[in-house]
């Protein structure tokens, strides 16, 4: 093949790619305009456009319950929990008379104390303001913060293979002083007080942090006791941080029924006299999918994996989070 032909093909390929990218941006802009004209645009490109008839709203709590990150067309966040979007969605449901209840679909190991409690409080506000019921369905996990959200509901269903419970609080981090010493790195800090730097935990600092964990634990226990109509003493017998199978959870009063998702929906439909279920659609652009797939193909270094693990689970903050076996 001649040099001119090769050059021509390369130019044609670049032009094709450029036109494709411009088309994606144009379509995304048009979609957003139509969304604003036809329905309420929630965060993370989700549109609230409910049926014009009685319906049950599906509210997903999937993945780690944490602060919502800024959205980007280069990032696909459709499969993870979006906190601010979920709060807005529930607010919209409270104002919609056609909504007859919430099906809370939980598949989460829990997450940050702040967002977990905020989600619980928003669900309780929904029930108080609307007098409508909330039913929870537990999928793979509904543990710790995921369980806290669940106890806001009137009835809890679980799959036979659900893992739930883990009622408790964790605050964790890494002590890297030994590694620093081995690598010849000296950590230096200048503080205004003896408890400002916790890189080397003293007994006093451990007691300070333990008091914070204990306070959050008592809050968690009180919410479970209220939601499950149990005494706090009964809850504390179960709330040592352990997880439970669905069978164990039902035996201990932590859930109500073990059912398939379809069976649960059928029972809820009969109770609320509507078989219409609704959840807002999340729009993911073609460009987002392409970048997400490309990113997945790039291998991560051990340092990246360690840093992401530390950021996600060992942040040093208070967490209602269920840690699995490593």
Q: What are phi and psi of 208, to 5 degrees?
A: -65, -50
Would you state the structure tokens that stand for residue 182, as one six-digit string?
């081995």
44 tagged catalytic: no
Could you confirm whether 150 is annotated as catalytic?
A: no
If you search the block for the tokens 């309780």, which residue do you land on? 124
C-alpha closest to that of 253 among 267, 265, 238: 238
The one catalytic residue in 108, 116, 144, 153 is 144
- SS (HEC) of 94-147: HCCCCEEEEEEEEEECEEEHHHHHHHHHHHHHHHHHHCCCEEEEEEEEEECHHH
DSSP code for 52? S
CA angle 248, 254, 258 (to 5 degrees): 65
Please give the structure tokens belonging to residue 261: 């998702």
3-state secondary structure at position 46: strand
Report how far residue 114's alpha carbon sits from residue 145's, in angstroms, rounded to the nearest whole number: 10
- C-alpha distances in angstroms, 288 versus 24, 30, 165? 10, 16, 35
Those residues whose C-beta lies under 8 Å from the C-beta of residue 317, and which sit 6 or more positions away, are 112, 113, 171
Q: Nearest 5°: phi and psi at 157?
A: -110, 150
Cα distance between residue 73 and residue 44, in whole Å: 10
Of the residues 36, 181, 196, 270, which is catalytic? 196
Residues serving a catalytic function are 144, 196
């Amino acid at each position: 093949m001649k040099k001119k032909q090769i050059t021509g093909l390369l130019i044609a390929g670049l032009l094709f790619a450029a036109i494709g990218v411009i088309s994606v941006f144009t379509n995304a802009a048009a979609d957003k305009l139509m969304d604003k004209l036809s329905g309420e645009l929630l965060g993370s490109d989700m549109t609230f456009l409910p049926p014009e008839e009685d319906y049950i709203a599906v509210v997903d709590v999937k993945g780690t319950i944490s602060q919502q990150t800024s959205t980007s067309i280069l990032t696909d966040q459709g499969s993870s929990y979006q906190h601010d979007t979920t709060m807005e969605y529930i607010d919209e449901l409270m104002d919609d008379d056609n909504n007859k209840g919430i099906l809370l679909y939980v598949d989460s190991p829990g997450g940050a104390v702040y967002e977990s409690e905020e989600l619980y409080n928003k669900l309780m506000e929904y029930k108080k303001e609307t007098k409508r019921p909330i039913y929870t369905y537990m999928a793979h996990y509904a543990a710790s913060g995921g369980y806290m959200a669940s106890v806001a509901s009137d009835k809890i269903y679980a799959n036979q293979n659900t893992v739930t419970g883990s009622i408790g609080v964790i605050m964790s981090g890494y002590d890297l002083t030994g590694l620093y010493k081995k690598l010849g790195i000296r950590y230096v800090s200048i503080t205004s007080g003896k408890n400002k730097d916790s890189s080397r935990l003293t007994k006093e600092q451990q007691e300070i942090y333990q008091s914070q964990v204990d306070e959050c634990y008592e809050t968690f226990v009180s919410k479970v006791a209220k939601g499950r109509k149990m005494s706090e003493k009964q809850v504390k017998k179960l709330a040592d941080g352990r997880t439970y199978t669905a069978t164990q959870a039902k035996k201990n009063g932590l859930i109500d029924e073990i059912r398939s998702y379809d069976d649960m929906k059928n029972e809820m439909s009969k109770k609320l006299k509507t078989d219409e279920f609704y959840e807002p659609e999340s729009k993911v652009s073609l460009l987002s999918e392409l970048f997400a797939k490309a990113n997945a193909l790039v291998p991560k270094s051990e340092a990246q994996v360690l840093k992401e693990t530390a950021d996600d689970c060992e942040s040093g903050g208070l967490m209602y989070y269920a840690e699995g076996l490593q």
